[in-house]
Structure formats: C-alpha cells, structure tokens
C-alpha cells in the first residue's frame, strides 16, 4: 500500500494523531465530516516559524485591509480581553494593550498563524461577536458579525439541514480545558492564503491545468474560554499542490470518489464545478 502522508505531522503534539489524507478522503462517498480529534491550543495557533510567510502576509493584510479582516461588537470586549490573556499566558502574543479590543485583535491576528472567531451563546444560539480572519475561504468576517451559526452556514447547501442541531449541541457541550479539532477540504486555483471575496482572486475554470490546482485544507480548533462566556473557533490553512497527491493512485481514486459523489449544489458552492469532469476522468 502506498504511503498516507500526514498533513500537519510536524506540528502535532506528542500522543495526538495528526490529520491524514485518509481522514479527509476515506474510501467512501462524500459526506459532511463530523469527525473531531483532541488538540492543543498552543500547537494549533503556533506559527510554523517566527517569520513565516503566513505571518508576514497577516501583518500585510492587517495593515492594508484591516476592516476586511477584523471585526468586533461591543458585547465582546471582555471575551476579547480574556482571549488575549489566554494567548499571552501561552506566550503566543505579547500582553500589552489588553484593555483595547481592536489592539488586542490586531496583536492576536499578527502573532498567531490561525484565524480566530469568538462566538457567544445568545438565546441558545452561538452568535459571531468578534474575530480576526485574514485567510477566509470565500467569505469575509465583517459580513458574518452578529449572525447566529445557522445564519453563518446559511450559504452552505444542505449543511444546516444535515448538521445544524448536531453542531449546536456539540458547541453547547464544550469543556474549557479541552480543545477539539476538525478538518475541511476544498480546491483552489491559487496558493494565495487569503480568499476574501472583497479582493478578487483566481477561480477554477475548465482551462485550469492540474499543476495550478491546490488542495486547501482548513484545520479548525474549537474550545470554550475558561469563563465559559465565549467559544473560540480557530481556522488554519494548509495548501498542497493537487499534482503531489495525484501521483498516489490510491489517494487519487479516493479524491475522485469524493468529487464524483459530491452533490452538485455543494460542488458549485465550493467552486469546483468547472474542473470536476476533468479531475474525475483523469
Ligand atoms: C462545529 C462544527 C462545524 C461543522 C461540522 C462545520 C461545517 C462546515 C462546512 C461543511 C462548511 C462548508 C465548507 C466546505 O465544505 O467547503 C462550513 C463553512 C463555514 N463554517 Fe462551519 N462548521 C462548524 C463550525 C463552525 C463554527 C463554530 C464557525 C464559526 C463562525 C463556522 C464558520 C463557518 C464559515 C464562516 C463557513 C463559510 C460559510 C460561507 O461560505 O459563507 N463553522 N462549515
């Protein structure tokens, strides 16, 4: 059997399983994944190196496009301060300006390699109240501010019907000392980290050659703040040229099976429809 390379093994804390391509592409028809693994906040948000490209890109975006990446509402001030203190204790961010929400989000956005969103439970629903999202995949944080999670997921075909109540139950049961991770995949026509629709980015077309297609994995971390006043949702992007995976016949077949069985509405949402026929055939 050919190797099943892990996606993020160097960053995986000892004793915890890394995300593998088999997790993302099991030998099965496509379905929304509700698989979670235990993780550590300190590893999830840790930059891959002190001056990584991702960190430099975050500093650039937060300087040139701050209002597209960063958003907060008045009710979130205490939760932002608590998040800042939490990451300062983990030594992932400096501890200055903890009393200024915008400066806190800015410091977090520039120091962590993952995006971060805070949700508060209001009338039994998790609602987006703040965050810093430099590398979104086709959405923008300011447009999601104030929305309950059902509203955030509204544009994803079938998701609320299939998983909405289960997601809310899962979030309602989070414990503050445990962080859970999940993973999502998509394809893109660019290795750009930010796919914020407020700035145009290349889309997949029938002409996009295999060599220019990237598989875009989002690992996500979910935990609840020690005060239990807000849920912390992190998103980290991992890009791999699809051609690197295509040489592994077994993995290629499992990716093709997912593409073949993806509902058409979801393929459209993910922007994959223009390349589906070519990838399934080859
Ligand atoms: C806990 C379980 C969760 C599951 C199973 C889940 C699942 C998904 C799935 C399947 C998608 C579609 C992505 C794709 O297939 O390309 C999606 C999109 C998204 N999710 Fe979640 N999600 C969860 C939690 C959250 C949370 C806590 C947030 C925080 C705000 C969130 C924010 C988003 C956003 C912003 C999008 C993109 C929506 C758009 O394109 O407009 N998700 N989610």
Q: What angle separates helix 273-281 from helix 249-261, to the nearest 10 degrees?
A: 140
Q: Where residue 177 falls among pLDDT bands split at 50, 70, 90?
A: confident
**Residue 96 pLDDT exceeds 90:** no
**Residue 12 pLDDT exceeds 90:** no
**Residue 10 pLDDT exceeds 80:** no
Q: Where residue 11 falls among pLDDT bands split at 50, 70, 90?
A: low
Confidence (pLDDT) at 139: 98
Burial of 132 (0-12, 13-18, 19+ CB in 10 A): buried
- Interval between CA 215 and ligand 1 midpoint (Å): 17
| CA 78 to centroid of chain Cα atoms | 24
Of the candidate ranges 2-11, 99-108, 159-168, 199-208, the one whose mean pLDDT is the lowest: 2-11
| Atom 5 of ligand 1, residue of closest alpha carbon | 34
| CA 263 to centroid of chain Cα atoms | 21
Residue holding tokens 């050919």?
Answer: 2
Rounded-to-integer distance, Cα 139 and Cα 85, Å: 28
Each residue's pLDDT tens digit, 210-262: 999 999 999 999 999 999 999 999 999 999 999 999 999 999 999 999 999 99
- Interval between CA 135 and ligand 1 midpoint (Å): 14
Of 230, 228, 234, 233, the closest CA to residue 79 belongs to: 230
Confidence (pLDDT) at 15: 63
Are 183 and 220 contacting, i.e. CB atoms less than 8 angstroms apart? yes
Rounded-to-integer distance, Cα 234 and Cα 231, Å: 10
Are 4 and 20 contacting, i.e. CB atoms less than 8 angstroms apart? yes
Of 216, 144, 221, 163, the closest CA to residue 187 belongs to: 216
| Ligand 1 mutation pick, 71, 128, 153, 185, max ligand atoms within 8 A of CB | 153
What share of the chain in percent tops pLDDT 90?
Answer: 89
What share of the chain in percent tops pLDDT 70?
Answer: 95
């Amino acid at each position: 059997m050919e190797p099943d390379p892990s996606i993020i093994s160097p960053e995986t804390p000892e004793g915890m399983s890394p995300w593998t391509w088999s997790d993302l592409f099991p030998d099965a028809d496509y379905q929304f994944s509700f698989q979670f693994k235990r993780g550590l906040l300190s590893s999830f948000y840790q930059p891959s190196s002190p001056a990584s490209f991702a960190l430099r890109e975050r500093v650039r975006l937060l300087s040139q496009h701050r209002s597209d990446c960063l958003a907060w509402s008045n009710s979130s001030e205490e939760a932002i301060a608590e998040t800042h203190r939490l990451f300062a204790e983990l030594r992932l961010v400096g501890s200055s300006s903890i009393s200024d929400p915008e400066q806190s989000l800015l410091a977090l956005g520039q120091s962590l390699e993952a995006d971060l969103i805070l949700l508060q439970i209001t009338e039994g629903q998790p609602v987006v109240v703040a965050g810093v999202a430099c590398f979104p995949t086709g959405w923008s944080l300011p447009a999601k501010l104030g929305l309950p999670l059902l509203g955030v997921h509204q544009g994803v075909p079938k998701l609320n019907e299939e998983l909405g109540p289960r997601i809310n139950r899962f979030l309602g049961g989070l414990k503050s000392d445990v962080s859970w991770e999940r993973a999502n995949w998509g394809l893109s026509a660019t290795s750009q980290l930010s796919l914020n629709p407020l700035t145009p980015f290349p889309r997949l077309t029938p002409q996009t050659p295999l060599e220019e297609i990237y598989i875009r994995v989002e690992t996500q971390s979910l935990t609840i703040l020690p005060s239990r006043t807000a849920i912390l949702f992190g998103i980290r992007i991992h890009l791999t040229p699809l051609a690197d995976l295509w040489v592994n016949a077994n993995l290629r077949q499992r990716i093709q099976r997912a593409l073949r069985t993806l509902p058409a509405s979801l393929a459209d949402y993910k922007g994959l429809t223009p390349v589906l026929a070519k990838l399934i055939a080859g």
